[in-house]
Structure 1
Amino acid sequence: MSHTASTGAYQNFEGRIGRTVAGSDAWWPPEAAAPKGAPNVIVIMADDLGYSDLGCYGSEIATPNLDELAAGALRFSNYHATPMCSPTRAALLTGVNSHLAGVGHVAHSDAGFPGYAMELADDVASAAEIFSDAGYFTAMVGKWHLTKDSHCSDAGPFDSWPVQRGFDRFYGFLDGFTNLHHPHRLIDGNSPVTVDTYPEGYYLTDDLTDRAVEMLQGAKASNPAKPFFLYFSHGSVHAPLHAKPADIEAQRGRYDAGWDDLREERFARMKAMGLVDESITLPPRNAEPGQEVAPWDSLSSDEQRLFARYMEVYAAMVTSVDESFGRLRSALERMGELDNTIIMFTSDNGASREGEAEGTTAYYVHLLGATDTTADLARIDDIGGPTTMPHYPRGWAACGNTPFRLYKINTHAGGHQVPMILAGPGVAESTDDGAAGTWRDQYVHVVDVLPTLLELTGVAAPSERNGKALKAMQGISFAPVLANPAASSARTEQYYEMLGHRGYYRDGWEVVSLHYPLTRFSDEEWELYDLTSDPTETRNLAGAHPDLVAELSQAWDQAAWANQVYPLDEGSGLKYLQRPPWNEVYERPVTLTPGTPTLERWRSLQLVMIRSFSVTARISINPSDEGIVMAHGDQGGGYSMWLDAAGVHLTYNSGRGLLETIDAPRPDGGEHAIVADFVAPGGNVWNVTLSVDGTKVGAADGWTCLFPMAPFEGIDVGLDRRSPVHWDLYQAHGAYPFTGTIHGVDVQPGEAPADSPNSLIEVLREMGAAFE
Structure 2
Amino acid sequence: MQRVIYTSLLLGVTGFSCVKAQNSVSPNIILILCDDMGFSDIGCYGGEIHTPNIDRLAENGIRFSQFKNTGRSCPSRAALLTGHYQHDVGMGWMTAVDEHRPGYRGEITGKIPTIAEVMKANGYSTYMSGKWHLTLDDAFDAPNGSYPAQRGFDKYYGCLSGGGSYYTPTPVYHNLTRIKEFPDDYYYTTAITDSAVSFIRQHPVDKPMFMYVAHYAPHLPLQAPAGRVEKCRERYKVGYDVLRKQRFARLKEMGFIPEGMELPVYQKEFEGKRPAWETLTTKQQEQWITDMATYAAMVEIVDDGIGQLVETVEQKGMLDNTVFIFLSDNGATREGGYLGQLMADLSNTPYRDYKSRCLQGGTSTPFILTYGNVAKNKSKGEICRQPAHIIDVLPTCMDLASARYPKSFEEDLPGMTLLPAIGGGKIKKRELFFEHEASCAIISEHWKLVRAGRNDAWELIDLSADPFETKDLSGQYPKLARKLETRWNKWAEKYNVFPLEDKSWTVRIKYYRDLYSGKSEKTE
The bucket for the TM-score relative to the shorter chain is: over 0.9
| Cα distance, 1:352 vs structure 2 | 0.9
Relative distance call for 1:11 and 1:303 in structure 2 (3 A) is: same
**Structure 2 match to 1:184:** 170
**Structure 2 match to 1:239:** 220
| Cα distance, 1:533 vs structure 2 | 2.0
| Cα distance, 1:473 vs structure 2 | 1.6
Which one-letter code corresponds to 2:463 in the other structure?
A: L
**Structure 2 match to 1:489:** 427
Residue 283 (str. 1) matches residue 264 (str. 2): yes
1:139-184 residue CA offsets vs partner (Å, 9 max, x unmatched): 000000000111111x332x11101110000000000023112223
**Structure 2 match to 1:477:** 417
Alignment of 1:51-130 (within 5 A): 51-130=39-118
1:523-553 residue CA offsets vs partner (Å, 9 max, x unmatched): 6321111112221112221111111100111
1:255-313 residue CA offsets vs partner (Å, 9 max, x unmatched): 12221111111101111111211122322134236696432222111111112111010
Please list every run of 5 or more consecutive structure 1 residues that lacks an aligned counterpart in the other structure: 1-7, 22-31, 359-392, 516-520, 585-757
Partner residue of 1:16 out of 6, 14, 17: 14
Secondary structure class of the residue paired with 1:35: coil
- Kept in 1, the 8 Å contact 2:319–2:373? The answer is no
- Kept in 2, the 8 Å contact 1:504–1:552? The answer is yes
The 2-side partners of 1:472 and 1:161 are apart by 26
| Cα distance, 1:317 vs structure 2 | 0.5
- Kept in 2, the 8 Å contact 1:411–1:514? The answer is yes
Secondary structure class of the residue paired with 1:357: helix
The 2-side partners of 1:181 and 1:215 are apart by 22
Secondary structure class of the residue paired with 2:473: coil
| Cα distance, 1:19 vs structure 2 | 4.5
- Kept in 2, the 8 Å contact 1:427–1:483? The answer is no
The 2-side partners of 1:491 and 1:242 are apart by 42
- Kept in 2, the 8 Å contact 1:182–1:198? The answer is no
The 1-side partners of 2:88 and 2:168 are apart by 35
Alignment of 1:214-613 (within 5 A): 214-220=198-204, 224-288=205-269, 293-358=274-339, 393-424=340-371, 429=376, 435-464=379-408, 469=409, 472-484=412-424, 487-515=425-453, 521=454, 524-571=456-503, 574-579=507-512
Alignment of 1:194-209 (within 5 A): 194-195=180-181, 197-199=182-184, 201-209=185-193
More strand by share: 1
The 2-side partners of 1:249 and 1:150 are apart by 39
The 2-side partners of 1:579 and 1:10 are apart by 38
The 2-side partners of 1:202 and 1:210 are apart by 11
Alignment of 1:107-186 (within 5 A): 107-153=95-141, 155-157=142-144, 159-186=145-172
- Kept in 2, the 8 Å contact 1:17–1:462? The answer is no
Q: Which deviates more from structure 2 when the two are superposed, residues 471-480 or residues 132-141?
A: 471-480
| Cα distance, 1:570 vs structure 2 | 3.2
- Kept in 2, the 8 Å contact 1:62–1:319? The answer is yes
The 1-side partners of 2:211 and 2:356 are apart by 27
- Kept in 2, the 8 Å contact 1:110–1:578? The answer is no
Relative distance call for 1:446 and 1:560 in structure 2 (3 A) is: same
The 1-side partners of 2:373 and 2:33 are apart by 21
Relative distance call for 1:239 and 1:291 in structure 2 (3 A) is: farther
Q: How many residues align?
A: 516
| Cα distance, 1:10 vs structure 2 | 5.8
Secondary structure class of the residue paired with 1:254: helix
- Kept in 1, the 8 Å contact 2:371–2:377? The answer is no
TM-score by length of 1: 0.64
- Kept in 2, the 8 Å contact 1:110–1:575? The answer is no
1:220-256 residue CA offsets vs partner (Å, 9 max, x unmatched): 2xxx321110000001010111112221110123212
**Structure 2 match to 1:614:** none
Greater Rg, structure 1 or structure 2?
1
Secondary structure class of the residue paired with 2:89: coil
Which one-letter code corresponds to 2:276 in the other structure?
A: P
Which one-letter code corresponds to 1:447 in the other structure?
A: I
| Cα distance, 1:582 vs structure 2 | 12
- Kept in 2, the 8 Å contact 1:447–1:475? The answer is yes
- Kept in 2, the 8 Å contact 1:529–1:541? The answer is yes
| Cα distance, 1:396 vs structure 2 | 0.9
Alignment of 1:620-699 (within 5 A): none
| Cα distance, 1:324 vs structure 2 | 0.6
| Cα distance, 1:498 vs structure 2 | 0.8
The 1-side partners of 2:412 and 2:510 are apart by 32
Which one-letter code corresponds to 2:70 in the other structure?
A: T
- Kept in 2, the 8 Å contact 1:39–1:457? The answer is yes
The 2-side partners of 1:156 and 1:440 are apart by 41
TM-score by length of 2: 0.93
1:498-540 residue CA offsets vs partner (Å, 9 max, x unmatched): 111111110110000011xxxxx4x632111111222111222
More helix by share: 2
The 1-side partners of 2:373 and 2:437 are apart by 38
Please list every run of 5 or more consecutive structure 2 residues that lacks an aligned counterpart in the other structure: 1-7
1:294-343 residue CA offsets vs partner (Å, 9 max, x unmatched): 32222111111112111010010011011010011110110111110111
| Cα distance, 1:110 vs structure 2 | 1.2
Larger RCO: 1 or 2 (CA < 8 Å, sep 6+): 2
The 1-side partners of 2:153 and 2:512 are apart by 29
